[in-house]
Amino acid sequence: MRGFTDLSVDPPRGVFQIARVKIMFAPEDRGSPRGSSFFLKDQGAAVTRGLACAGKAPAGAPRRAIARMATSMAASMAAVALAMPFGAPAACASPDAPASDPQAAPRLLRPVAGHPPAPPLRLATLDGPPFDLAHSHRVTVVHFFATWCAPCRAELPALGRFAARWPQVSVALVDVAEVPARVRRFFEEQPAPGPILLDMDRSATRAFGVSLLSASFVVAEGRIALRAEGEVAWDSPETDEAIAAVNGAGGLPHGHSSPAANNKESQEEP
């Protein structure tokens, strides 16, 4: 049911999105095609359905009324989900359409047992050359996200601060199954802490076993050393300690000194 808890409202473009359910209203004065549509991915049956709604929202329609329409539709789909067998997977919780967890507190990166090899990651980028993780010779944070995911949007500023604090660590943002134009519009107002990779067919999302957005993987020497699903506490000292342990001789975050250096300085004080 958590897939229905994230309602993203974008009035300028008339887009209301409830997890993976999108309702698009075409204003009269935009010259958009008639009608509106939404798409529902039924993860319980692993079936994608496309549904068309006749008509469109008139120009100047009250936002509150449109929001009520979106909420009502979400409630109807929630009722359908409740009628499904309890053994079925939660809506939007599969790698095909990862869910977001809007209520979870930021968490810490956790070590991955055995440091398994990272799956191949070769993707086109939004506005640059193709990215290949195999060509990265530094510790790399592979961060899966989507612009419709409210927790993902809230997490990006902290990830940006982390990237500024750790210039010796690469950050690669993997957008999950969104059209480039939407992603580009989003980053016009939100600086990106690294290259933006486009996982249009979710192949990388499935390969990394992502079931919740956001999801972060710390890859060192081709192996996954740390991971977390959901918002990460990028500003926490524990995160810096975990990255420093993985980074080894690569150093400490910018502006920090080692514990040994701190002890030496304290001993030299009169």
Report pLDDT digits (tens) over 167-184: 999 999 999 999 999 999
Number of Cβ within 10 Å of residue 17's Cβ equals: 21
Q: Let me know: does 223 contact 118? Beta carbons within 8 Å.
A: yes
The residue type of 170 is S
Q: Tokens 């549509």 appear where?
A: 37
pLDDT of 77 strictly over 70? no
First to last CA, the chain: 62
Q: Within 13 Å, how many C-alpha atoms sit on residue 204's CB side? A: 26
H or E stretch including 226?
A: strand 223-229
Measure the CA–CA gap between 221 and 216, rounded to whole angstroms.
16
List C-alpha distances in Å: 91 to 42, 75, 116, 156, 199.
7, 13, 29, 25, 21
- Burial class from Cβ neighbours inside 10 Å (0-12, 13-18, 19+) for residue 256 reads middle
Range with the poorest average pLDDT among 31-45, 51-65, 104-118, 121-135: 31-45
Q: What would the mean pLDDT of 27-51 be, rounded to a whole number?
A: 36
The correct CATH number of 99-250 out of 3.20.20.100, 3.40.1000.10, 3.30.450.20, 3.40.30.10 is 3.40.30.10
Model pTM?
A: 0.63
Domain ranges of the chain: 2-83, 99-250
